[in-house]
Every structure is written in structure tokens, then in C-alpha cells.
Amino acid sequence: MSGAGWNVIRCSACSTCHGHRKTGRSCPHCGQKLPSDAEIVATVATAAELRIEVALANTPEELRDMLRKRLEKNDALFQPEEQISFKGLPKLLLDAKDEHGIVTRKSIIPILEKSGNSLDVQDLIDLAESQGLLVRLNTDCWQLLE
Ligand SMILES: [Zn+2]
């Protein structure tokens, strides 16, 4: 048993988990007095971790994996690589356009290569269209919206 951080404790009376600095004296859910040897489900260092662990501990076992995956997936949304490609996109298209604001695959490819971005030229165009940065004029010709 650790004195530092937070413990996730399971109440033996109502089976609900809660967080406590040490072992706690009574259950905040049902008021039952907790024995000094109450079940400690997990020990964490921060209040933020505690919130996740309590949520997981109070989730039915068969749903826990799904919840944990969802929490991990949320983290994956904030990969720095993705932010760079979004941020650099308008600048890249500005460099690739001609004097009429027209871009083609041929005009984008050298700029894309120079930027060191690993995006495929078609993926880049799809992305720009979905962001409302480009409007297709014909099969290989897009108008840049500024
Ligand atoms: Zn309880």
C-alpha cells in the first residue's frame, strides 16, 4: 500500500469505486464504513489519472476495454504530424497556384516534395476540397479560394 498519490478503492458493501488519498473511512456512495483492508483497485499519481481509473473501475468489465480504447483514441487525435499538414496546407496551395489562382497536380507536386510532407498529391487535393480551399474546375484543374 502506498501513502503517495491516490487510491481507487472498491466499497465491499455496494461494489462502487471511488478515489481517496489514503484508504478512506467511509464510502461516499452508500456511507458504509470501510475496513482498513478495503480493496485497492489501483494506485495513481495524479487526480487526472484518478478520474480515468475510477470511471474504468465503475464500468462493467465487458465494456472496460472499449472505454479504454476510446480514451486512447482521443489521445491519438492530437498527433502533431496531423496538425502540421493541416496548418501548412493553405500556404502550400498559395505557392502552387498560377497568376489566376489555378492549381494542377503538376503545379502541386514540386511544392509538395519541397515541403517534405509525406501526403500523396491526390490526398492533399481531397483534403483541400473537403476544407473548402479548392474547387474543381475540370479533371486536373482546381480554383484556389482565397
Ligand atoms: Zn459503498
Distance of CA 146 to the CA centre of its chain: 30
Q: Which three cell numbers stand for residue 8?
A: 481507487
CA dist 91 and 93 (Å) reads 5
Same domain? 71 vs 84 = no
Do 72 and 84 fall within a single domain? no
52 and 84 inside one domain: no
Q: Are residues 60 and 92 in the same domain?
A: no
**pLDDT band per the 50, 70, 90 thresholds, residue 24:** low
Q: Which residues contact 34 (CB under 8 A, 6 or more apart)?
A: 9, 11, 12, 23, 24, 25, 26, 27
Residues 68 and 84 in one domain: no
According to the model, what pLDDT value does residue 84 have?
42
Which of 76, 95, 114 delimits the end of a domain?
76
Q: Which residues neighbour ligand 1 (ion) by CB within 5 Å?
A: 11, 13-14, 27, 29-30, 32
Among 76, 104, 124, which residue terminates a domain? 76
pTM: 0.44
pLDDT digits (tens, 9 = 90+) for 46-84: 877 887 888 888 888 888 888 888 777 665 554 444 444
Residue 119 included in any domain: yes
Cα of 9 vs centre of ligand 1, distance in Å, is 10
Q: Are residues 58 and 12 in the same domain?
A: yes
Number of domains in the chain: 2
10 C-alpha to ligand 1 centroid (Å) = 8
CA distance 133 to 123: 14
Whether 57 and 109 map to the same domain: the answer is no
**93: containing domain:** 80-144
Q: Is residue 116 part of a domain?
A: yes
